[in-house]
Structure 1
Amino acid sequence: MSDDDLFPDDGGEGELAVVVEKPRAQQAIDGLTQEGVYDADRSVRAYGEAGVSIPVTAVPETVEFHEVVRQVGDARLRTLADHLRERGWSPEEIDRAPSSWAVIGSVVLVEIDDAPRPVEVGEALLDLHGEADTVLQRHGIAGEHREPDVSVLAGEGDTETIHTEHGTRYAMDLAEVMFSPGNKDERAGMAEAVTENETVLDMFAGIGYFTLPMARAGADVTAVERNPTAFQYLLENARLNDVTDRVQPYRADCREVVEGVNADRVVMGYYDAYEYLDSALEALEPGGTVHLHEATPTDLVFERPIDRLETAANERGRSVEVLDTRRVKSYSEGVDHVVVDARVD
């Protein structure tokens, strides 16, 4: 949809939209959704050289924007299948198209598998998500630091972006660091779990996945990350979210940092975190809470991570009270990403 289908709001025909700079699109959409005025039945459209118009049901009160315009023309093509059908795809081809993808800031992440004409899939995803300017194809994770293997499928090819989630802003390069949309509720939950001035050790901080929402909620976080690229984004994101006074960052192996740390809470957001339980318990104060993440075979959920935690605690003369267990998402076929929350005395 072109700018020709957008007109200044003069009270005439067309549906309301607000204009923001494209880099702020996802942040604005999050804010409009929270306010309850984002209209998901219509498309985000290009506006000028650097802006987008975001459909709304009413003029927002809490989200900044440049101007109000009217959108006219066809209603939104709601699905990827709609866009592929317009490109002449057959029903059989559409059945092989991706069924899921993630929009992270201005980037769409997608796994193509055996879909035909991948470039057309990328172009269709850009049409579907007007706030995005790049589509990346995911190939997997590789290397000591679990770095993403991606390639540009469509768009500008800019892999750096800022993603906003529950008010927390994450700057990242999706060609260099991982970001899992499936962990969104877990990140939000950590902000709700902490109390103001609580001391937290985040043993595998990454770009600040859990550190940032906890610090924004008032916790004092010792954040440890050994991947140099992720660590630089951790520093940038602490500044971006105005929590540098609440985040103590260390570029190190977390086992080298725990001495002298007295934490009310330890976050172990790594699939093989159980290997570091001795260090976590060394840092955790009696009566403190540990959040142990693990990739667990489905038939061992939640038995294996609880057993590992209890064994490590017993070896140190400590006891465990399981507070909560949950499946976060599927990790691979027959394997789940799970979390055990426990009090350790």
Structure 2
Amino acid sequence: MNALAIVVPKTETEEKLDALDAEGVYDTARKVREHDAERVELPVLAEPRATTFDALVEQDDPEIRAAGLDDYLRERGWDGEEIERAPSSWALIGDVVLVAFPDALGADERASVGEALLDLHGEADTVLAREGVAGEAREPDVTVVAGSGDTETIHTEHGTRYALDLADVLFAPGNQAERVRMGEVVSADERVLDMFAGIGYFALPMARAGASVVAVERNPAAFRYLAENAQLNGVADRVECVLGDCREYDATESFDRVVMGYYDSLGGYGTSDTEDVRSDYLAAAFDALDGTGTLHVHTTCPEARFPARSDARLRAAADEHGVRVASVDARVVKSHSEGVVHGVLDAVIGDG
């Protein structure tokens, strides 16, 4: 195979790549690699005629690379500066690519990135711009930027299948490890209440592990997928789907474990300590445990104050309701925003 490369100063890498691309001799199938402390080797298809360089070498062991988004954008005429403004991360959910675009990109640039992402992910057929979420129901705001526009898909994660419509319900890719963990911490003989079930984010892994789960969801769109997903994963006999407000669920017996995935239960993530804690939700959780069991409370908190502030808020709410907190373990799920984390508290209530 061709293994020619030009040697150029590291400080001129982007400039030379743009020049090689314009000349049509940049070899995107191979990696740029270090030549020495000051220079790099840029792979070329033939000796450049218009681009200057320090030396032309033939690599003994060229490094082949898979094409990335920047390669596909270069094919569309993007230069190095424009590529710097392109999104650096995205999520493939089923056959839909979900992207948070920088504000600096206009509609035409978003469409170009979308088409490039479809080339990069051959199995995808729609690219969505993630604009945000709204309200306690966490309803997504998305825009189709490329592809067929079909926002309904089935996403598989560690064996759990999630059917959903990304235009109607939220799916947080960054919560994957936590979804998997919930299927690992639960025991097969446990009775679990998932107070904010959504499409079954936590309920499905727990049910697949053998637990009996009551999954409460008040958003009708999410509830429809919750019921469908229980069937899809073969756990309909272990998941009781309840449409309604979890605070109004009338339990006939106590639960061993309660999951609170709504992360404003312990108040917002501002710096004030006087923000409202959702004691109504916590009261319902304490009642469901009937004084003993495990409570998983999701929360957002300034990174520098996690988990101390969240722990203190949970314990204060427990004291208010006459509940004993035996222990609390805390973990960061992911970054929520700059300086703010999404965390979860695993609290042992009473004797556990």
After TM superposition, the score normalised by the length of structure 2 is 0.74
| Higher Rg of the two aligned structures | 2
Matched, 1:262 2:254: yes
* Displacement after TM superposition at 1:156 (Å): 0.6
Q: Distance in 1 between matches of 2:225 and 2:264?
A: 23
Q: Give per-residue Cα distances to partners, 1:135-185, cap 9 Å, x unaligned.
A: 001111124522111111111110000000010000000000000000000
Counterpart AA for 1:326: R
2:97 is the counterpart of 1:105: no
| 1:13-59 superposed Cα distances (whole Å, 9 cap, x missing partner) | xxxxxxxxxxxxxxxxxxxxxxxxxxxx9xxxxxxxxxxxxxxxxxx
Alignment pair present for 1:78 and 2:67: yes
The question of 1:281 aligning with 2:273 is answered: no
Q: Of 173, 182, 188, which aligns to 1:181?
A: 173
Q: Secondary structure at the match of 1:141?
A: strand
Aligned residue identity for 1:133: D
Aligned to 1:72: none
2:335 aligns to what? 330
Partner SS, residue 183 of structure 2: helix
SS in 1 for 2:256: strand
Question: Are 1:90 and 2:90 an aligned pair?
Answer: no
Correspondences of 1:175-254 after superposition (within 5 Å): 175-254=167-246
Q: For residues 254-295 of structure 1, what are the alpha-carbon distances to aligned partners after superposition, in whole Å with 9 as ceiling and x for unaligned?
A: 011154341100000011123111110011144410001001
RMSD of aligned alpha carbons: 1.6
Greater Cα offset, 127-136 or 254-263: 254-263
Residue 132 of structure 1 aligns with an amino acid whose one-letter code is: A
CA distance in 2, matches of 1:110, 1:225: 26
Question: For residues 42-86 of structure 1, what are the alpha-carbon distances to aligned partners after superposition, in whole Å with 9 as ceiling and x for unaligned?
Answer: xxxxxxxxxxxxxxxxxxxxxxxxxxxxxxxxx764311111112
Structure 1 unaligned regions, length at least 5: 1-40, 42-74
Q: 2:300 maps to what in 1?
A: 295
Which whole-Å CA distance do the structure 1 matches of 2:86 and 2:198 have between them?
32
How far the C-alpha of 1:311 sits from its partner, in A, is 1.4
Please give the alpha-carbon distance, in whole angstroms, between the structure 1 residues aligned to 2:243 and 2:187. Answer: 26
Q: CA deviation at 1:241?
A: 0.5
1:334 CA displacement: 2.2
Equivalent residues of 1:93, 1:115 under 8 A apart: no
Of all paired residues, the percent bearing the same amino acid is 61
AA at the equivalent of 1:298: E
1: CA distance, partners of 2:212 / 2:119: 42
Do the aligned partners of 1:77 and 1:128 also contact (CA within 8 Å) in 2? no
Q: Which residue of 2 aligns with 1:136?
A: 128
Structure 2: distance between partners of 1:287 and 1:144:
28
Runs of 4+ in 1 over 6 A off after TM superposition: none
Question: What residue identity is the alignment partner of 2:225?
Answer: Y
Q: TM-score, normalised by structure 1?
A: 0.76
Q: What is the rounded CA distance, in whole Å, between the counterparts of 2:67 and 2:324 in structure 1?
A: 52
Instruction: Give secondary structure in 2 for the equivalent of 1:84.
Output: helix
Q: CA deviation at 1:341?
A: 0.3
| CA distance, structure 2, for counterparts of residue 98 and residue 229 of structure 1 | 29
Q: Distance in 2 between matches of 1:253 and 1:277?
A: 13
- Secondary structure of the equivalent of 1:126? helix
Please name the residue that 1:307 is paired with. Answer: 312
Distance 1:324 1:131 in 2: 40
